[in-house]
Amino acid sequence: MTRPRAEIVVDLAAIRHNVRTLRRTAGVPVMVVVKADGYGHGMAQVAAAARAAGAEWLGAATLDEALALRAAGDTGRVLCWLTVPGEDYAAALAADLDVTAYSVAELDEIAAAASDSDSGSATGPRPARVQLKVDTGLSRGGASERDWEGLFARARAGEEAGRWRVTGVWSHLACSDDPDHPANDAQEATFRRALEAAERAGLRPEVRHLANSAATLLRPSSRFDLVRCGIASYGLDPAPGETDDIGLVPAMTVRARLALVKAIAAGDAVSYGHTWTADRPTTVGLVPAGYGEGVPRQAGNVASVAVGGRRRPIRGRVCMDQVVVDLDGDPVEAGDEVVLFGPGRDGEPTAQDWAQWCDTISYEIVTRIGGRLTRSHVDSEAPA
């Protein structure tokens, strides 16, 4: 088969390696977060690789994502945490998911779904599994401290009525990539208060969890019973400049084949708006991927790609379908491989490099890349 014009290749061996490394480092069970199509890596494939490496839990944002994991054949513990009123909790309970409630109103919705799904059961109801999310200072999802008592009391009453089991109490950090930020200590202390309040209410959650990837690596006291690792599972550094190198391997490579190579003269300007002008005769290569593939438009004149073992700067603006790179007269031909980013082992840029160039985080680079790119999965550890 001929190589695609432009593609994403995901190495599932890297995912397994990263998950094993994180489990060893954390010393507690790991939830691999696979939301947003596995941060652009392919949710179902990442989920299977994560399980093969021992992931005890998978985490999804939406109910749809969690249901898609079941449809893909995953049978392990799955938590989801982002729903709107009227969502299909009956489907969630039938699929044996752990769902998250932020409020008494959400518990009421889950209760209604639980009693609906009980009616046909010969063996009696299977209690739903509910986790409670508390807001410890992110001011995003979760119950605010003033509402904890009411939420926990209602959750305990539902347990006593056999409606559900409260399987977890959890929260999320705002500044974990900045380990010296005072919010980390404050949030952890607030979380401990929430756990005490839950205990006073009679709740005995199976898992208490607070840490994302950065906290897993940088803040051992935040690991509790379970850590939720997204970005690090994909081999990207959650806190560049703060973490020790634990040998994570970026799983995603984005590559293309040059559509055209041609000479331009000194004084020729390149791409829309003529934002770059050659100061010498050179050759340029046309890379057939642009912002339609999720290549950030901010990368114009700042990012580089690898061609023929060398970094090649993008000249001019990123277009919808293509970008132009400077080949400096080197013997490179149409059809040759261009690596936009990858693990970085052969000198190619990484997603973290692109994040720096584009003033964002690697999460956004890998999650947004896609569009017309094809995506395939390989296993570099599989016998040839």
Ligand X SMILES: *Cc1c(COP(=O)(O)O)cnc(C)c1O
* Contacting positions for ligand X (CB under 6 A): 33, 35, 81, 172, 212-214, 228-232, 238
Q: Which is nearer to ligand X, 238 or 300 (CB)?
A: 238
Pairing of strands 276-277, 269-270: antiparallel
The span from the CA of 340 to the CA of 307, in Å, is 9
3-state secondary structure of 307: strand
Q: How many of the other CB atoms lie within 10 Å of CB of 337?
A: 13
Q: Which is nearer to ligand X, 35 or 154 (CB)?
A: 35
Q: Which is nearer to ligand X, 130 or 214 (CB)?
A: 214
Write down the least CB distance from residue 216 to ligand X, Å. 7
**Exposed, middle or buried by CB within 10 Å (0-12, 13-18, 19+), for 41?**
buried
Token reading at 339: 């690596």
Q: Give the list of residues 6+ apart from residue 2 with CB closer than 8 angstroms, or none.
A: none
Write down the least CB distance from residue 41 to ligand X, Å. 12
Instruction: Given the residues 35, 39, 133, 234, select the one marked as catalytic.
Output: 35
Half-sphere exposure of 343 (CA within 13 A, CB side): 17
The span from the CA of 210 to the CA of 221, in Å, is 10
Give catalytic status of residue 35 as yes or no: yes
Which residue in the block uniquely carries the two structure tokens 């947003």? Answer: 36
Residue of minimal CB distance from ligand X? 230
Q: Which is nearer to ligand X, 230 or 285 (CB)?
A: 230
Give catalytic status of residue 262 as yes or no: no
Write down the least CB distance from residue 35 to ligand X, Å. 6
Write down the least CB distance from residue 163 to ligand X, Å. 24
Instruction: Given the residues 102, 133, 272, 291, select the one marked as catalytic.
Output: 272
* Catalytic residue numbers, as ranges: 35, 272
